[in-house]
């Protein structure tokens, strides 16, 4: 249990924390598996997992032990020296992704920044600089200036203009437009194989094929942003695989540290060959604590801990999908069900915020993205029983929000 110094964290937040979040008025101070608990001991089913981060669920005993052990031994030495965990993590990510080199940072946005920078670095090293990027409608790549520049929604971008120039956005529904947008001036194409914040939208196969063909034709590099959809969330190790995409660079974050902040950018040998000492860096990136957590996560994911969490997601995902499709068949407000594994969106015919609130009143946590999409990103460890408990709550929340908006 945490030591609480504030009797009213919500009031203190209102006075002292930068008001950039629309937080729900609920305070959690412990969790177990897919459950979160308030100070009063109320149990909520967590189907959003800290926006796709708590991959092993809350209070995971093996992760907790590893973090405590690591904290007692050594937390951080910076990148001035070697330590044994960063290179081990890099080699494991390399084996899983086929991209042989890793740079470690602390968030998804930082991983995207590294991918954007090293795409340009690659072309600079060729002596034929290319600086332009192609990104997609509805994309979300993060909030730092570079990541924001390849993020589509003007609502996020406009207050911070001017951003990095030379970005073209293209519709994933238009393969011809994709082919035309990617030219010999394009340093890299950046794509979420399964968009998260943009409304849980899988990249159409025709778009993936058009991207691959245009990258081959022009030499443009391909960056897969797998921050949200990667590392097993869809029941595949990476969703690029499902589309037959072979990225030159990949951005990872969220699930990787299972709650401990860590991001990673992965590079092909050709891209990595351009990097020189001093080109990039991070004080905290890849420290012992973060790497230890990520190693535990990867071990659980790939079955080192006994059962493979990747297999579990591949098994439980279809059960979740069936539950969501059953809701859609009964609730006419649900217009589409999209996703894979334990990453799903229900698009409804009106703003989804009221559904999220109604679900929370029923002690179920989901969130809204892209205005009309109810998003579910449960911990990978979610069970069929927990899904069966959650589905009636979600359906009741949809029904009651629809009733309220009809009045
Ligand atoms: N890329 C994708 C696909 C994301 O979904 C996100 C966050 O939602 C990011 C990048 C940015 O990650 P972070 O919030 O860790 O900076």
- Note the pLDDT of residue 369: 96
Q: Are residues 117 and 221 in the same domain?
A: yes
Q: Is 142 in the pocket of ligand 1 (CB under 6 A)?
A: yes
Mutate-to-test residue for ligand 1 from 223, 254, 259, highest number of ligand atoms within 8 A of CB: 254
Q: Are residues 257 and 163 in the same domain?
A: yes
The domain boundary, picked from 257, 287, 302, lies at: 302
User: Is the Cβ–Cβ distance between 28 and 44 less than 8 Å?
Assistant: yes
The domain boundary, picked from 272, 302, 332, lies at: 302
* Atom in ligand 1 nearest the alpha carbon of residue 142: 11
Residue 388 domain flag: yes
**From the CA of 227, how far away is ligand 1's center (Å)?**
6
**From the CA of 369, how far away is ligand 1's center (Å)?**
13
- Note the pLDDT of residue 133: 98
Residue 31 domain flag: yes
Mutate-to-test residue for ligand 1 from 105, 140, 149, 255, highest number of ligand atoms within 8 A of CB: 140
When divided into structural domains, the chain yields a total of: 2
Q: Cα separation of 202 and 161, whole Å? A: 29
CA angle, 51 then 289 then 314, to 5°: 45
Q: Is 225 in the pocket of ligand 1 (CB under 6 A)?
A: yes
Mutate-to-test residue for ligand 1 from 52, 53, 108, highest number of ligand atoms within 8 A of CB: 108
Q: Are residues 222 and 325 in the same domain?
A: no
Q: Is 193 in the pocket of ligand 1 (CB under 6 A)?
A: no
For the stretch 126-132, contacts whose Cβ atoms lie closer than 8 Å and that sit 24 or more positions apart, written own/partner, are: 126/274, 130/184, 130/185, 130/186, 130/187, 130/220, 131/166, 131/185, 131/187, 132/166, 132/167, 132/168, 132/183, 132/185, 132/186, 132/187
Q: Are residues 87 and 33 in the same domain?
A: no
Q: Are residues 157 and 298 in the same domain?
A: yes
- Note the pLDDT of residue 1: 47
Low-confidence ranges of the chain (pLDDT < 50): 1-2
Q: Are residues 101 and 35 in the same domain?
A: no
- Residue 23's domain comprises 9-59+308-406
Residue having the nearest C-alpha atom to atom 7 of ligand 1: 142
The domain boundary, picked from 245, 276, 302, lies at: 302
CATH of the domain at 281: 3.40.640.10
Sequence-ordered list of residues with C-beta below 8 angstroms from that of 235, at least 6 positions apart, any chain: 310, 313, 314, 317, 340, 341, 342
Q: Is 114 in the pocket of ligand 1 (CB under 6 A)?
A: no
- Note the pLDDT of residue 244: 98
Mutate-to-test residue for ligand 1 from 50, 138, 146, 253, highest number of ligand atoms within 8 A of CB: 253
User: Is the Cβ–Cβ distance between 64 and 73 less than 8 Å?
Assistant: no
């Amino acid at each position: 249990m945490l030591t609480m110094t504030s009797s009213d964290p919500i009031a203190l937040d209102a006075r002292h924390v930068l008001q950039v979040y629309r937080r729900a008025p609920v305070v959690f101070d412990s969790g177990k598996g897919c459950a979160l608990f308030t100070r009063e001991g109320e149990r909520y089913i967590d189907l959003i997992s800290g926006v796709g981060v708590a991959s092993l669920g809350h209070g995971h005993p093996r992760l907790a032990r590893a973090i405590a052990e690591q904290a007692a031994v050594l937390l951080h030495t910076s990148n001035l020296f070697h330590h044994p965990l960063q290179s081990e993590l890099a080699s494991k990510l390399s084996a899983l992704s086929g991209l042989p080199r890793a740079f470690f940072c602390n968030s998804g946005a930082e991983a995207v920044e590294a991918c954007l920078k090293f795409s340009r670095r690659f072309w600079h090293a060729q002596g034929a600089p290319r600086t332009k990027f192609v990104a997609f409608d509805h994309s979300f790549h993060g909030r730092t200036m570079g990541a924001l520049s390849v993020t589509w929604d003007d609502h996020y971008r406009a207050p911070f203009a001017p951003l990095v120039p030379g970005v073209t956005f293209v519709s994933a529904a238009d393969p011809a437009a994709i082919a035309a947008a990617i030219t010999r001036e394009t340093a890299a194409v950046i794509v979420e194989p399964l968009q998260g914040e943009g409304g849980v939208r899988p990249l159409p196969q025709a778009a993936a094929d058009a991207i691959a063909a245009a990258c081959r034709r022009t030499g443009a590099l391909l960056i897969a942003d797998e921050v949200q959809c990667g590392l097993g969330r869809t029941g595949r190790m990476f969703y690029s695989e499902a589309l037959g995409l072979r990225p030159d660079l990949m951005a990872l974050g969220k699930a990787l540290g299972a709650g401990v902040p860590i991001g990673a950018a992965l590079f092909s040998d050709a891209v990595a060959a351009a990097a020189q000492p001093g080109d990039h860096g991070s004080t905290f990136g890849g420290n012992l604590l973060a790497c230890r957590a990520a190693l535990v996560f990867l071990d659980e994911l790939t079955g080192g801990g006994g059962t493979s969490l990747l297999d579990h997601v591949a098994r439980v995902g279809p059960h979740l999908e069936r539950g969501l499709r059953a809701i859609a068949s009964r609730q006419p407000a649900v217009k589409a069900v999209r996703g894979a594994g334990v990453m799903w969106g229900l698009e409804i015919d009106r703003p989804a915020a009221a559904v999220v609130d109604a679900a929370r009143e029923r002690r179920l946590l989901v969130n809204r993205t892209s205005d009309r999409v109810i998003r579910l990103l449960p911990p990978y460890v979610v069970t069929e029983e927990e899904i069966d408990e959650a589905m009636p709550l979600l359906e009741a929340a949809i029904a009651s929000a629809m009733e309220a908006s009809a009045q």
